[in-house]
Structure 1
Amino acid sequence: MKIESIDVLRFPLMLLVLFVHTIPEEIVPVPFTFSMEACYVWISEILSHHLGRIAVPMFFVFSGYLYFFKINDFKFEQYKKQSLRRIVSLLIPYFLWNIVFIIITLAKNILFVKLGAGEDVLLVSLRHATYYDVFWGGPFVFPLWYVRDLMVMSVLSPLFYFWFSKTKKIGVLILILLYLTTLESDVPGLSGTAITFFGIGSYLGMHRYDLTALLPKYNAYKVTLALLALLIGTLLGGTVYYELAIRFFILIGVLALLYLGFLLTRRDKIKESLLQLAPSVFFVYAIHSVYIINWVKGFFYSLGMYEKAWYRLITYLITPFLTMIVCLLLYALVKRLTPRLLSLLIGGGVSLKFDKR
């Protein structure tokens, strides 16, 4: 049950990531009018800009939890073993995906130029980028900033172990309070999200918490509070108070989503389907963003009705699912043709769990 509650959430969280990447990053204040345009703004802002922000923090919680779950006494040999494992599960896929998409970008532009089309913005940005920008500061496959930060958290894992060994629950509270200040280091690899939520997961893993046991009481209140915090964050979108409000929602929302994971483990058919889809999550995470989701969006845009609000709403809701289907078909194809390459690309089968049980 401890691990199942993580596994069943991985695919729904990945779908939420696709919603995040369906619209531009700019937050739009929600309107208070009755129109199809207002409906589109409310739905897209809630799903992509507010609720969507909980996905990556949840993955950091899972990673921290699984990193420390089986460690009884953190010694150098265990640190060495975990570090070597992460060369396979994190470092190799991280560089492979960036290199693969650099090659794809170059090949695509060579072909398009020969066909008379212009260069795309990715090639232009690549031409002016340094190796640091491509493989760390960006990175080129931008969702892999999560993997980059996770590698840094893994390197710093002895500090997390020492910190929580000395401070106990107070250490978790300090991390949460620092997170709520909204201060960021702006150093690639040291995001507040990574430090806070990998830290929370590390503490839970160190103390062998059953994630479902975190929710024995007051579940309705936790879900209600999370929804209320989500609404407040949505209403404050575009204001100076937004970041604080949405970070408070994320903290409460983690508990609400863990409860959702618990409920899903009790629905056998749904649970089995989600567990079967879970191994594909990292592949989808890495492959969707550079071209696939933009091609899907471009297809709908090319139909010439994008100025209509009802059309934008429908295509907004459809795009993540179509992108997911394309990515899953590619996953099945690569798995069938080159399973060894697939294993390297997803970290030896570890996927967005980044640890073996």
Structure 2
Amino acid sequence: MNENTSQTIAILRFPLIVTVVLLHTYIIDRPVGGVIYVPHGEYPLFDLFAHVYQSEFGNMSVPLFFFISGFLFFYGMKKFSWLKFGHKLKKRIHSLLIPFFIWNVVFMLFVALVNMISPSLLTFKKSFVDMTFGEIANCFWNLSQGLIPLWFIRDLMIINLFAPIIYILLKNKMSKLILFGFTILFLSQIFHYVPGIGMRCAYPYMLGAWFSINGKDFIFVLNKYIYPLTILLIILVGFDTYLWTNDVSLFALNRFAQIIGIMTIPLWMSRCIEAGVLKKNDFLSKGSFFVFVFHMFIIYIPTKLWVYMFPVNGWTATMALLFIPLLVAFFCLGVYKVLLMFMPKVVTIAMGERN
């Protein structure tokens, strides 16, 4: 793999994970102690900022993760091999399946403990001791009572199983036409939220896979279009935001902006690396997964406490939305560092790493 592309993917992990934390930082219409301190419409400028920052650009992070996952799964597989396919699936057992079960179980135990100590803190989560066996099993599928962000891992594991079919679809002369057809499905909201094979997962994954399957470095291929893509992205986000201010929502427009975003963001990251502005940090890169799984254990604390610590207005709400994801992410990294010191083998397994 081109060194710049490898560096770009590695460096992207942490800021994208911080963006995932941002998506779970609820400020607007969030009740705290039964009171909604920041209702929608109370602070119009903050509403606008939150929409652009969180809903427009923030929502590009997960599709970009799927894009990168598809690119990496098929990397080095210009010619399909069942042996390579089996080897890649075996690696995903360590990196995806085992952490998926470990962290979901840990979170369920955490919820049960919190419900024993202070039931009012997690009223929307049910303790597993009050669940039937079927409800407990369902916590590993729909995840509404489990660790919700793990839906990404669930869908990624499922779509990986379809790799042979994806390879056949994208390794032929009609691949661009087939990919265009899936683009229409992605924009149309058809089969969008079906676990594993839904377009919110399958399409960006296939888009990334297309580059690897056809032996193309996506940074090298797309770099020549960086300025047109950037201008188009700004126009799309601007128009979608304008419609939002008029209470109009166009699903296709929003998702088209996501497509352009997942192709544009890595290009600017690559430019920053070439300019020497950014350098790979192994700790941030490796610790990103821990932030991903652990932030939901603590995110509700700062999102509730800030209203008691500062006067509530549009300015402080903006600061909360900006800094809470960063504070939570770096706190998670601190916990990760401590756990590495005292139980490195356990952390290695839980993180999906192998010695």
Q: Same fold (TM over 0.5)?
A: yes
Work out whether residues 19 and 47 of structure 1, in 8 Å CA contact, stay in contact via their aligned partners in 2. no
Q: How does 1:300-311 map to 2 (within 5 A)?
A: 300-303=306-309, 305-306=311-312, 308-311=313-316
Alpha-carbon shift at residue 324 of structure 1 (Å):
1.2
Identity within the alignment, %:
24
Counterpart check, 1:312 vs 2:317:
yes
Distance 1:300 1:119, change over 3 A: closer
Alpha-carbon shift at residue 269 of structure 1 (Å):
5.4
Give me the whole-angstrom Cα distance separating, in 1, the residues matched to 2:90 and 2:229: 39
Q: How does 1:122-271 map to 2 (within 5 A)?
A: 122-124=124-126, 126=128, 127-128=130-131, 130-138=135-143, 140-166=146-172, 167-184=174-191, 186-237=193-244, 239=247, 241-268=249-276, 270-271=278-279
Give me the whole-angstrom Cα distance separating, in 2, the residues matched to 1:297 and 1:349: 35
Q: Which of 32, 41, 44 is 1:38 aligned to?
A: 44
User: Which SS does the other structure have where 1:74 is aligned?
Assistant: coil
Alpha-carbon shift at residue 49 of structure 1 (Å):
1.1
State the Cα deviation string for residues 257-308 of structure 1 (Å, max 9, x = none): 12112112214352234x541111111011102x3111111221233633x2
User: Which SS does the other structure have where 1:2 is aligned?
Assistant: helix
Give me the whole-angstrom Cα distance separating, in 1, the residues matched to 2:194 and 2:219: 34
Distance 1:110 1:178, change over 3 A: same
Alpha-carbon shift at residue 118 of structure 1 (Å):
4.4
Distance 1:25 1:144, change over 3 A: farther
Give me the whole-angstrom Cα distance separating, in 2, the residues matched to 1:223 and 1:200: 18
Q: Which amino acid aligns with 1:281?
A: S
Greater displacement, 340-349 / 189-198: 340-349
Q: Scaled by the length of structure 1, what TM-score is found?
A: 0.87
Give me the whole-angstrom Cα distance separating, in 1, the residues matched to 2:117 and 2:43: 39
Alpha-carbon shift at residue 185 of structure 1 (Å):
5.3
Counterpart check, 1:3 vs 2:12:
no
2:344 is matched with 339
Q: Which of 75, 78, 83 is 1:69 aligned to?
A: 75
Alpha-carbon shift at residue 107 of structure 1 (Å):
2.1
Alpha-carbon shift at residue 123 of structure 1 (Å):
4.1
State the Cα deviation string for residues 221-248 of structure 1 (Å, max 9, x = none): 2111101111112222385543111101
Unpaired runs of 5+ in structure 1? 351-357
Work out whether residues 211 and 258 of structure 1, in 8 Å CA contact, stay in contact via their aligned partners in 2. no
State the Cα deviation string for residues 97-148 of structure 1 (Å, max 9, x = none): 0001111222233233xxxx64632543754571343101125111111100
Give me the whole-angstrom Cα distance separating, in 2, the residues matched to 1:349 and 1:2: 23
Work out whether residues 50 and 230 of structure 1, in 8 Å CA contact, stay in contact via their aligned partners in 2. yes
Alpha-carbon shift at residue 87 of structure 1 (Å):
0.8
State the Cα deviation string for residues 20-55 of structure 1 (Å, max 9, x = none): 1112698x9997xxxx92221111111111111110
Q: Which of 120, 123, 126 is 2:122 aligned to?
A: 120
Give me the whole-angstrom Cα distance separating, in 2, the residues matched to 1:192 and 1:29: 32
Q: Which amino acid aligns with 1:108?
A: V
Counterpart check, 1:278 vs 2:285:
yes
User: Which SS does the other structure have where 1:341 is aligned?
Assistant: helix
Q: Which amino acid aligns with 2:97?
A: L
Q: Which of 28, 43, 55 is 2:61 aligned to?
A: 55
Distance 1:39 1:205, change over 3 A: same
Work out whether residues 30 and 42 of structure 1, in 8 Å CA contact, stay in contact via their aligned partners in 2. no
Distance 1:5 1:178, change over 3 A: same
Give me the whole-angstrom Cα distance separating, in 2, the residues matched to 1:239 and 1:315: 25
Counterpart check, 1:103 vs 2:109:
yes
Q: Scaled by the length of structure 2, what TM-score is found?
A: 0.87
Q: Supply the RMSD in Å over aligned alpha carbons.
A: 2.6
Q: Which amino acid aligns with 2:182?
A: L
Unpaired runs of 5+ in structure 2? 30-37
